[in-house]
Structure 1
């Protein structure tokens, strides 16, 4: 006599196992989160400075003294999300970590909801109960998720909005209503506002729902939803073009410069993660709405093979699609296993165990050590210099390439020699030298690979221009007043006029 896979006893047992796995995952995530709590990306302080200036009435300006606003930030929605920190006068970095923690936990919750929605018609308790709980657990155990929780960037919010969009796509299986179409359009718009590149995924979600819906009434509602999204997005794009006098955000001019596929290595590094590789492999046979979501995720990865971006730790730009890969991979696996009771009993535990092992394998003790060393170095160098400038009798101008913490701490006017927050340098890099010295900076900070004499540290920041700036500074009677070690082989040379 065959046992009923949906008997009350078996469902209770499966639920106990699933909840136990989730509780262990939460504890493990909490350990990782606390272990790297002090890590905050320097770039996050750029957003904090923009948000603070916005609250202080300077508009979207990097320097309050700038004649024109500059769009050196990535996410307008993240600036708004950070505004309460400055209204309540609480530390911005701590506030960012706390709300990002909330975003991550809600994302894990909705990953479970998505998988439960995709498996709700399955006849086996393994699929309807255990898969959603393990999917959420796998997300929490993935080390880069802990990194994006504490980094101070908008990545956790991006991942949450993508997950909410995917959940709505799957819910449309039951039909489209006017209210749900409106919420869907709002979610897609929020995705585009939190990261412009997520517009690609938003369009993919819209097309997925449209082409997998058969009722003509539903299609009409989706067309209206899509038109509302496009109209609102167009209005925002037109406003920002007018406000910043720039067709595209400044980071685009920096990261999309040159020909070739500069991001291939970063995308391959993401795909080599065991959890990502497994979920991608499972998703290859996805059907229906899951297939559309997977194709959107693939298109997003292909897009990032082109820009010369600074991926940073934790696969920063690619992490928003991880929830989709987990949802589609486990939903597809559940559909395949649902056809045979014996396959479920034998294969489901093995698959879920492999998924959790793959997620846990993402931990890199060396990277954890680096993140903590980076956090300490950032505060003891750029942060300390910023505090010194802040305490000077009057404010001045400082030229530097890593502008985040030093600009936020000192509140001086800053010349961003890299160009993210300087429109002229971003669009006309050949004018970098001219722009830098035309402002007569009181201090210039350059990075060297050697302490004993200045030797430009060449990195992804394309800092080959540093030697010319150093030589010109010496000619103009600047002199080195301080040399600080950031990390071994990475020294800050502070030149004063």
Structure 2
């Protein structure tokens, strides 16, 4: 536990200044909301749901309303979520293990670099992970599972918190509803084994679910459809079903999970415990959900962190089952602790200090370039100017509010996900040239891959850039480990209409 605490503290301190550009997208919406303009990308552009983390955006809006420093406050909230999540993971593990073994899932999850990396990036990840752990913990508590030497009894209070957690999950991310499936499978398994509450309690549980989850979420969902006009947020339409992407995100998760999956097999093969469904089924569901997802959205298994946190109990159960089967002379708890420690340290990517510091420095240079672009626009762009930008986040947040940022990606651009431009980006390129005619262009170029964004390539074919002059070029990169030379991996090109 001391090692986990030290590792977390030192790692979090190293990445404190690391805020991802995507975090500012939600904060743009939050700022407009607080200003009384609604949940919009810009007052003069069509309404679009370019965010998919409503509850996190609402928290950001509250922070702005209270006039607190947004970035630092959101990071403090995120750290609080991480700490609460680790405590909840320990309480969940105590329903399976002794106090010593219950620390091991906490160690597995906190050791993995993604848990720290995504805590301070400004996104909803730590909140979502914590809610998923609390959900699984409270489901088991509701069904009467208890820690060692505690009386087992059904808990209506735990069922209340189950529904509150499920509601919060569904509001935090659009796909949060998927967590209903593990609960239903678990309930079905319990019913099959005749472990179900009395009829009177079932009625009270049904009333609680109606009052605390079904009605509130239905009201939110109806409002969403009425306000944004679409069933699915733009972010999911853009990135969850990317063309030409197959199992890339799943494969990243499988590589992280593999050693722990192998360690889990002894338990998964022999156990008929219904509780295991809550531990491995979320990983399977997310693998199916993200089979065509764009890998840019899930660096360090961001979207799999919640399933991974629950899966972290299974290798401990597997090693414990294996050691118990052979009845070795060594204490099974001690052996399990040693094996899990070695597997985690040897096969799981930890919070390596040099890597974290280099990554933060690398990203800060790109962040400074974004600030320079925003400053240039603030000084040179005329009032109400339109700006075509594919890297929407920090730049629109720091730029003047009168500037209209047209997202060249589909995230905050309602037109690209609707007919006639849906799946026809070439038509949208013609639309930009003939009708929108933005006053400014900010183009991203990736020197290592020798290409820009897809829309930029199509615009060149339309001779779009003949009407623009290059104003500034900003480059960022990293120092090579071999030669020490700086390698440029990201370039901004700023154009102004002639």
Short-chain TM bin: 0.7 to 0.9
Residue 484 of structure 1: aligned partner: 474
Q: Deviations over 1:299-339 (max 9, x none)?
A: 22232123335234321111111221113443565566568
* Aligned-CA RMSD value: 2.9
| TM-superposed deviation, 1:145 | 0.7
Q: Deviations over 1:237-264 (max 9, x none)?
A: 222111101121112221244667x351
Per the alignment, do residues 291 and 450 of structure 1 end up closer, same or farther by CA in structure 2, a change over 3 Å counting? closer
DSSP-derived class of the 1:483 partner: strand
| TM-superposed deviation, 1:169 | 1.8
Residue 386 of structure 2: aligned partner: 397
DSSP-derived class of the 2:297 partner: coil
Q: Report which stretch shifted further, 25-34 or 307-316.
A: 307-316
Output the CA distance in 1 between the equivalents of 2:3 and 2:354: 23
Q: Deviations over 1:206-249 (max 9, x none)?
A: 43135314234354444445555344333322221111011211
Equivalent residue in structure 1 for 2:429, among 425, 428, 433: 433
Q: Deviations over 1:28-64 (max 9, x none)?
A: 1111112222221111110111111111111110113
Where in structure 2 are the equivalents of 1:148-227 lying within 5 Å? Answer: 148-174=118-144, 175-212=153-190, 213-217=195-199, 218-227=201-210
Q: Would the aligned equivalents of 2:389 and 2:407 in 1 still touch at CA under 8 Å?
A: yes
Equivalent residue in structure 2 for 1:55, among 17, 20, 34: 34
Unaligned runs of 5+ in 2: 145-152, 478-487
1:24 aligns with 2:8: no
DSSP-derived class of the 1:284 partner: helix
Q: Would the aligned equivalents of 1:26 and 1:140 in 2 still touch at CA under 8 Å?
A: no
Equivalent residue in structure 2 for 1:469, among 454, 459, 474: 459
Residue 482 of structure 2: aligned partner: none
Per the alignment, do residues 484 and 137 of structure 1 end up closer, same or farther by CA in structure 2, a change over 3 Å counting? same
Output the CA distance in 2 between the equivalents of 1:378 and 1:200: 35
1:316 aligns with 2:294: no
Per the alignment, do residues 282 and 56 of structure 1 end up closer, same or farther by CA in structure 2, a change over 3 Å counting? farther
Q: Deviations over 1:364-383 (max 9, x none)?
A: 66853553144222322112
Where in structure 2 are the equivalents of 1:345-424 lying within 5 Å? Answer: 347-358=335-346, 361-363=349-351, 368=356, 371-392=359-380, 394-410=383-399, 411=401, 412-424=403-415
Equivalent residue in structure 2 for 1:264, among 247, 262, 274: 247
Per the alignment, do residues 258 and 385 of structure 1 end up closer, same or farther by CA in structure 2, a change over 3 Å counting? closer
Output the CA distance in 2 between the equivalents of 1:270 and 1:320: 12
| TM-superposed deviation, 1:267 | 1.7
DSSP-derived class of the 1:273 partner: helix
Where in structure 2 are the equivalents of 1:118-157 lying within 5 Å? Answer: 118-119=96-97, 128-157=98-127
Per the alignment, do residues 279 and 46 of structure 1 end up closer, same or farther by CA in structure 2, a change over 3 Å counting? farther
Output the CA distance in 2 between the equivalents of 1:364 and 1:42: 23
Report how many aligned residue pairs link the two structures.
Answer: 459
Q: Report which stretch shifted further, 331-340 or 423-432.
A: 331-340
Per the alignment, do residues 57 and 446 of structure 1 end up closer, same or farther by CA in structure 2, a change over 3 Å counting? same
Unaligned runs of 5+ in 1: 1-21, 120-127
DSSP-derived class of the 1:398 partner: strand
Output the CA distance in 2 between the equivalents of 1:250 and 1:190: 21
Per the alignment, do residues 449 and 116 of structure 1 end up closer, same or farther by CA in structure 2, a change over 3 Å counting? closer
Output the CA distance in 1 between the equivalents of 2:253 and 2:298: 12
Output the CA distance in 1 between the equivalents of 2:253 and 2:186: 25
Output the CA distance in 2 between the equivalents of 1:465 and 1:74: 23
TM-score (norm 2): 0.83
